[in-house]
Structure 1
Amino acid sequence: MNARNMTVAQMVEAFLEPDAPVQVRAFDGSRFGSDDAPLHLDIKSSRAMYYIAENPNDLGLARAYLQGDLDSPELLPGNPYEVFKQLTGLKSYLRKPGKVELARIAAAVFSHGVHVPDPPTIEGPSLSTRLREGIRPHTRKGDAATVSYHYDQSNDFYRLFLGPSMTYTCAVFDTPETSLEDAQAHKLNMVLDKMNLKKGDRLLDIGCGWGSMEIAAAKRGINVIGVTLADEQVEWGQEWIKREGLEDLAEIRLMDYRDVPESGFDGICSIGMMEHVGFKQYPAYFHEMMEKLRPGGILLNHQITRTNSHDGKRAGSFIDRYIFPDGELASPAEIEMTIQDNGFEVITQENLRQNYAITLKHWTENLQAQWEQAKSMVGEPKARLWGLYMAGSRLNFEINTIQVHQFQCIKPDPDTGTSTYPLRPWWTR
């Protein structure tokens, strides 16, 4: 057969065993797999093929999906989790095509000319583009740009899936049946308890988001400063503090944590912010925390982690372009070593991986339930993007590709060391 006449189904057949539990239906009328397969994928245009040929990874597939060129009748609006799970199951049916097959596929794809379709308009710039624009990773300018890219969206859109707590980090569940709101409230209180804070104490919250920690702390009589680089979050948080009548105890600033002039805090928490810091900046970051804490003060550091130290630190192409530009993850062992090397004593390290999977289940189900409103707020491609990201993250937490850890760390007192905290855990998990 002439390579130019090779069908999409034949291309798929080069990568999958004939009994793979999927049917692929293509724009050229060809089909791979049986009608009664549990999963059906529709390749709706040649643009999908060019996206995948240019980037045969998560970026190419994501572009095709976000543009509507790759779809499935099994996809739930805003919640593609079940389809992701079935796609993961196809790994055991993969086959490695030979050089001749790969050459035929390339000839078929490019037989009508080399096309490089424009990426979706919601895609962020590549690392090389950011560098040309003078936005270097993990500098003050770079951090401000990347945080703004992710968080300065519609606050009302985030509320659709986060719920009234506006807490964009892992909740902590007593049971799988615990409500999202109860689990988020439990997480906030657990963090405050782990820092052993009392009424009148001073707390610094780095990467404070929309202010849920500030509200929880101030209601306990704790004086709290929250800092973020996202304008939308500052506006929301300041209004929330005012509505609660907590202005005398809580404030939120548009500020880089390195620019906070105060020190001597009784506690510092960093909940879901370290993913933006960059692995090479960890020593400087923890040194800054040490400088801002009083002797005997506690740092609670909560961050997504790699399962091991062998994988690269950078996120994949999809995450870099669409979600967290310049995001990096390290293993819990690497993080704990850096914490200790900067003079802290680590009291506990806790893995909350399963809790984050349940949290993401709630978020994707919320987005699914509010799908039409989400599309009207941000457009279908961006609404699809958040469902794609959260469903994929849920699956990765479930299969232990990534984890999330809390590190409870105390700054030694030069006179008493770290013998000032109780002998046994004093908080309720």
Structure 2
Amino acid sequence: MEKLRPYGLQATWFQKGATIFMAITTMSVADMVGVFFNHDAPLHVSAFDGSSFGSNDAPLHLEVRNSRAVYYIAECPNDLGLARAYLQGDIASPELEPGNPYSVFRQLMELKAYARKPKKSDLAKLSASILSHGIHVPKPPEIELPSLAQRVAEGVLPHTKKGDAATVSYHYDQSNDFYAMFLGPSMTYTCACFPKADASLEEAQEHKLNMVLDKLNLNKGDSLLDIGCGWGSMEVTAAKRGIHVIGVTLSQEQVDWGTAWIEREGLQDLAEVRLMDYRDVPEAGFDGICSLGMMEHVGYKHYPAYFKEMLDKLRPGGMLLNHQITRCNSYQGKRAGGFIDRYIFPDGELASPGEIEVTINNAGFEVINQENLRQHYAITLRHWNENLQEHWDEAVKLVGEPKARLWGMYMAGSRFNFELNTIQIHQFLCIKPDPETGTSTYPLRPWWSR
């Protein structure tokens, strides 16, 4: 059905034995938009049914191309419904830049000032208008994962080894060439650290990797375990400094890329990338452990076991650097929204910095330093979006337009949320206490350069 046909719905109510018939006039798409926004909103909407809302001079123009968009949003009136419509091309805008819808996100946020509280009678008319054409539940985009309930029913339980392998593979086993288009030569899929505002992405990623090694106070001949190692950038950086490093990931694509990179650099004697769950690493007594952008997959209830595992794998006096996206406070909830769960990080959970630090302390670590890099991640995401824009045609050819749209939308939305301080990213530097040497195992003042 490509048009909402202009006929009404007769709804029948039975009350106290009497039959009452009520005719409800079908609303246009423009009428539906008007239920939620004042008519002076800086928004123009044109729809497939010929209706329009707002002024042609509005700074933001949205086109609702077909009825499927209406059904998507009616079924899931949140970020998931809008994402489905956008990914399928059912909603479009001339202001949308391929691979980077950031500017539209900013304009949509400004519309909050023009939002109106819908009347119950208007919501009833809106629902009746949609139902007058029958109950339609369009299929979600092919790239969407099943819901959490469906995944559990299929035996893929969240935060088990099987569940983690499935969800990590879903996100990362896409195409190494696709990731290279927006990550750049460093192939580093975590927040960079910009030594100055105008530093390039590559400079900032190199600075971040070396800062992590400096914070861990690792020297030539020391050993490092890198959990969730990605494509091997830390392995190459550490090995070039003479550090023995083992990286583990659950993505075969990343293992293949990282292994080839290490071989090209001639660093096989110092660096290794394994397809392995961090819980299965047999070695222990590491001088340092880093976990950069992996904790989002662990699950809040599993934090104590995770940090206990890290403690057991370190030597006394060894250090852990845990780098993860966080909530801003403990009231925001842990689970991600429907869009993130179905498309980006299935089973992903975030906690507040305070909750994480309490868990680290309770596991037996001493926290030396904690740093918020929120602003740096916003800048990192801006660079990634710009890189995707630059390679848009290649990206669409490689993974298809829906998936290319998905990553552009995800990165632009994430940038916007970091800028708004809706989410943050923190590095926790921790040490495993040495019962024999006490507090003399690290310098009195910070020893690394920011």
Shift of 1:318: 0.1
What is the SS of the residue equivalent to 1:305?
Answer: strand
In 1: Cα distance, 2:269 partner to 2:32 partner = 65
Question: Which residue number in structure 2 is paired with residue 385 of structure 1?
Answer: 406
Q: Is the 1:207–1:226 contact (alpha carbons within 8 Å) kept by the matching residues of 2? A: yes
What is the SS of the residue equivalent to 2:105?
Answer: helix
In 2: Cα distance, 1:35 partner to 1:150 partner = 40
Question: Which residue number in structure 2 is paired with residue 327 of structure 1?
Answer: 348
**Superposed, which structure 2 residues align to 1:130-149 within 5 Å?**
130-149=151-170
Shift of 1:177: 1.0
In 2: Cα distance, 1:380 partner to 1:362 partner = 20
What is the SS of the residue equivalent to 2:36?
Answer: coil
Asked if residue 72 in structure 1 is aligned to residue 106 in structure 2, the reply is no
Question: Which residue number in structure 1 is paired with residue 335 of structure 2?
Answer: 314
Question: Which residue number in structure 2 is paired with residue 336 of structure 1?
Answer: 357
**Superposed, which structure 2 residues align to 1:69-218 within 5 Å?**
69-218=90-239
In 2: Cα distance, 1:316 partner to 1:418 partner = 43
Shift of 1:390: 0.3
Q: Is the 1:304–1:404 contact (alpha carbons within 8 Å) kept by the matching residues of 2? A: yes
Shift of 1:93: 1.0
**Superposed, which structure 2 residues align to 1:407-426 within 5 Å?**
407-426=428-447
Question: Which residue number in structure 2 is paired with residue 287 of structure 1?
Answer: 308
One-letter amino acid of the structure 2 residue matched with residue 330 of structure 1: A
Q: Is the 2:26–2:128 contact (alpha carbons within 8 Å) kept by the matching residues of 1? A: no
One-letter amino acid of the structure 2 residue matched with residue 288 of structure 1: E
Question: Which residue number in structure 1 is paired with residue 421 of structure 2?
Answer: 400
In 1: Cα distance, 2:358 partner to 2:228 partner = 23
What is the SS of the residue equivalent to 2:264?
Answer: helix
Alignment match of 1:356 (pick from 354, 377, 380): 377
Question: Which residue number in structure 1 is paired with residue 296 of structure 2?
Answer: 275
In 2: Cα distance, 1:4 partner to 1:146 partner = 46
Q: Is the 2:26–2:125 contact (alpha carbons within 8 Å) kept by the matching residues of 1? A: no
Q: Is the 1:411–1:418 contact (alpha carbons within 8 Å) kept by the matching residues of 2? A: no
In 2: Cα distance, 1:418 partner to 1:204 partner = 24
In 2: Cα distance, 1:99 partner to 1:143 partner = 43
In 2: Cα distance, 1:312 partner to 1:398 partner = 20
In 1: Cα distance, 2:293 partner to 2:25 partner = 50
What is the SS of the residue equivalent to 1:14?
Answer: helix
Question: Which residue number in structure 1 is paired with residue 39 of structure 2?
Answer: 18
- Sequence identity percentage: 74
Question: Which residue number in structure 2 is paired with residue 224 of structure 1?
Answer: 245
Q: Deviations over 1:166-219 (max 9, x none)?
A: 000000012221100000000000000000000000000000000000000000
Aligned residues: 429
One-letter amino acid of the structure 1 residue matched with residue 59 of structure 2: P
Q: Deviations over 1:85-116 (max 9, x none)?
A: 11011111111111100000001111110000
In 1: Cα distance, 2:84 partner to 2:340 partner = 12
One-letter amino acid of the structure 2 residue matched with residue 289 of structure 1: M
Shift of 1:26: 0.8
In 1: Cα distance, 2:438 partner to 2:223 partner = 21
In 1: Cα distance, 2:424 partner to 2:208 partner = 16
In 2: Cα distance, 1:175 partner to 1:189 partner = 15
One-letter amino acid of the structure 1 residue matched with residue 449 of structure 2: T
Q: Deviations over 1:289-329 (max 9, x none)?
A: 00000000010000000011011100000000000000000
Of structures 1 and 2, the larger Rg is shown by 2
Q: Is the 2:201–2:380 contact (alpha carbons within 8 Å) kept by the matching residues of 1? A: yes
In 2: Cα distance, 1:291 partner to 1:43 partner = 55
In 2: Cα distance, 1:217 partner to 1:175 partner = 23
Q: Is the 1:78–1:368 contact (alpha carbons within 8 Å) kept by the matching residues of 2? A: yes
In 1: Cα distance, 2:366 partner to 2:120 partner = 55
Q: Is the 1:410–1:418 contact (alpha carbons within 8 Å) kept by the matching residues of 2? A: no
What is the SS of the residue equivalent to 1:397?
Answer: helix
* TM-score, with length taken from structure 1: 0.99
Question: Which residue number in structure 1 is paired with residue 76 of structure 2?
Answer: 55
